[in-house]
Amino acid sequence: MTVLIAFALLGQYLVNPYRIVTAPFQPPSSKNLLGTDVLGRDILSRLIVGTRQSLYVAAISVVISTAFGATLGIFMGYIGGALDRVANMVMDAWYAFPDIVLALTVTVLLGQGAINSAIAIAIALVPYFFRVLRSDAFTAKSLTYIEAERVLGANTAWIVFRHLIPATLPSLIVLMTIALARAVLTLGGLGFLGLGIPPPTPEWGTDMGLATSGIINGIWWPTTFAGLFIFIAVLGFNQLGNGLNSVLIGRRLSEK
């Protein structure tokens, strides 16, 4: 993950992903370590710079989905009642659709581009945050000190922002890291289908989709290495989430 973050921050200053260096679809060599793509551009350079787009869109989508899904989930979990039941049913139905299906639908309506892709992915992730944070808030609201605040006349906004959000923060941090993995994977799927970030901007899924024409001729390296970068990013964020879960959630349970 450290290497990918370094690529995202510094990659555009180190290599040129747009320059045509040799003939199209040249295999990996000492000159071009991962070979060249359909236009003769260096694949490694494009993957390094493409890291910025993939992580940028993933991060924006997670921030948006957290702002809406987590906030709504915490409020509904605390308020309860008929409104909570309706919101929960809607989110359950929303959650039943795979991320890529929802993201594809929204992207078709909004069009291509980094911001539109981020919005599409965020919409797909909203119920993911809602369900977990609602459950945490529902459990936390019965804690003694929160019950005392309610008896003393504290309003809903005060309890939510002063107590419930801090109480659910460990779960939220873990969810955000795992959601980053889902966002990277979904963005890769959108790009592969030609609905993500349009070329010539380097992006892992888009570059992988453009290279599929060569697979039938045994040209495996453009799709393989782009897919490998997506795999590494998804695995890295998932492992980070698992590690944070052990540290943050485990610590909270031990304190109880």
Per-residue pLDDT, averaged over 145-161, amounts to: 78
**Contact (CB, 8 A) for 143 and 167:** yes
Pure H helices in the chain: 2-14, 43-65, 71-79, 81-95, 99-110, 114-140, 144-151, 156-159, 165-192, 204-210, 221-244, 250-255
Cα–Cα distances (Å) from 162 to 79, 145, 166, in that order, read: 15, 12, 7
Amino acid at 137: A
Confidence of residue 43 (pLDDT cuts 50, 70, 90): very high
pLDDT-based confidence at residue 252 (cuts at 50, 70, 90):
low
Reported as a pLDDT band with limits 50, 70 and 90, residue 138 is confident
How distant is the alpha carbon of residue 73 from its chain centre?
19
Name the token pair of 235: 């695995």
Q: Give the separation between CA 247 and CA 233, rounded to whole angstroms.
A: 21
Give the structural domain span for 41.
2-255
CATH number for 134: 1.10.3720.10
Over the stretch 8-18, which tens digit does the pLDDT of each residue have? 899 888 899 99
Confidence (pLDDT) at 248: 75
SS3 label, residue 75: helix
CA gap 55, 94 in Å, rounded: 25
User: Please, what is the average pLDDT of the chain?
Assistant: 89
Residue 1 has pLDDT above 80, yes or no: no
Encode 183-220: b = buried (16+ Cβ within 10 Å), e = exposed: bbbbbbbbbbeebbbebebbbbbbbbbbbeebeeeebe
Q: Is the pLDDT of residue 250 over 70?
A: no
Query: At residue 93, does pLDDT exceed 80?
Result: yes
What is the spatial distance between Cα 157 and Cα 11, in angstroms, rounded to a whole number? Answer: 43
The pLDDT score that the predictor gives to residue 249 is 63
pLDDT of residue 145 exceeding 70, the answer is yes
Cα distances from 113 to residues 57, 146, 201, in angstroms, run: 10, 44, 10
Is 69:130 a contact under the CB 8 Å cutoff?
yes
**Residues 19-38, mean pLDDT to the nearest whole number:** 92
Q: How many CB atoms lie within 10 A of CB 71?
A: 16
Which pair of tokens denotes residue 179? 């959601």
Give this prediction's pTM. 0.90
Q: What is the mean pLDDT of residues 52-69?
A: 94
What is the band of 251 on the pLDDT scale with cuts at 50, 70, 90? Answer: low
Structurally, how many domains does the chain consist of?
1
Average pLDDT of 229-245?
Answer: 91
